[in-house]
Structure 1
Amino acid sequence: MTTNHAISNSGFVSLVGAGPGDPDLLTVKGLKVIQAADVVVYDRLVSTDILALADASAEMIYVGKKLDFHCVPQDQINQILVQKAQEGKRVVRLKGGDSFIFGRGGEELEELAKFGIKYEVVPGITAAAGATAYAGIPLTHRDHAQSVQFITGHVQKDGREIEWGSLAQSNNTLVFYMGLKQSGHICDKLITHGLAAKTPCAIIENGTRQDQRVLTGTLATLPELANGAVSPALIVIGSVASLSETLQWFNQ
């Protein structure tokens, strides 16, 4: 049975990726829509410098999430976006990184579409691209990796396991988002499925921010590295991680 929703075109929502941390990595278009917003609905990883770009009269609504704790459930976030748009407001939904890469941006737009609310998407630099660049780790390199895969460290919504066999056998770069808590599981599964225990790896903590820290080791030592890291952090596994010491440039 299909549910009929009331249609409203009175407001407008801009889904904006704020980038990985460094406020200078915000796009020019992102800056423009933030400055014009009546309402800014923002996540935990959006920097205070970027939030300060909003007009002083804008309504600021925090809906941040962190590991094992959701300040505002996703369905409630969806409801806020719909409600504010139906009030005729120019709404910015502001997320860290890029909204379409493990950011649930697609889910939120699906909800807006149900109600006939107009929207646009302003891409942001995702953490995998920004954090690795600031850590001196090229995601691809002719001598190391010809492809890259982004994987969520969270359990999939339907409870299915990741295809560990294909990840372990491919000669590419693996980037795990939100993987600190699952680092032991990631290590065990990849080694069990054939990836060498000596494969280089890195954990990038607070990527692109002034307090960025890069921890390097091997797949076998990944759980130990993770024990010394704090969120937000990105896990990079693959030969390219060995280039960090040579190519590092940030915070020197």
Structure 2
Amino acid sequence: EGGFDWSNEADVRFILRAAGERNPVEAVLAFLAEAHVCSAAPDGSSNRTEKWDVPTISLAAGEPFPFPDPDSPATLPARLIAGERMIEVAYWGDATSRDNVKFWAGAGGYPGAALLRDALDLMRGRWEEARDDPFSVSAVQTSSFRFDWRRDYVPLDAGFSPNEHGDVQMVGYPLVEILAAIGLSHARPLRIDKLLYRYGVIGTQEALFAPLLLRAALGCAPLPFARRQFRMELGWPGQENQARCILEVTEETIS
């Protein structure tokens, strides 16, 4: 269960409660520290990600697969596996009526599973550092899911392209990327158009909320709880209709 407490605007917090005695943040970090990444392909598929050093698991006939076999290995589902535990990350291939929130593109068909592996590799040996402030762990990051605006840029707005300068390195936040990718497998913001999304959060001092309600809130469902809603504007960092990046997030008034 969880929920925001914004009773003190100078110290807004997200409160999280989980079963068991272990700190839930530490439990998540321990899983990721042990995990490795592979992709999964349906029975009979020719899609593989070994070219990018990510092993592919071929599923048995009749074994469930989250969407039709994709046109390329770029959007094969990724799996985080630690022992007998597994988390599937597959939001980028969603073929339902929901928007897949796939902001990354191009990169020679670089797979989502490889992006996830890269982010996980950047965190190796840094899990203790992440325990107290997981969203502030930074690393030089050449590619990402584009979920953290602190790394991204639009060259026309910046006045130059870091790609043209060998001595400029972009610093990203790999743990933010990993956790956002996992979360989007369960809930999505509301798409208005290609460059505009809305999302919401709920909170109260009196109670915490089940994940089902938190997920509905993200999509701006009109829940009967204290809500806040945000407008997320995107831009084209390169060619139009390719990759997108977050430019600005502003809070909206809920009427």
Q: Which range, TM-score by smaller chain?
A: under 0.3
Which protein, 1 or 2, shows the higher relative CO under an 8 Å CA cutoff with sep ≥ 6?
1
Give the TM-score of the pair, scaled to structure 2. Answer: 0.23
Q: By percentage of residues, which structure has more helix?
A: 1
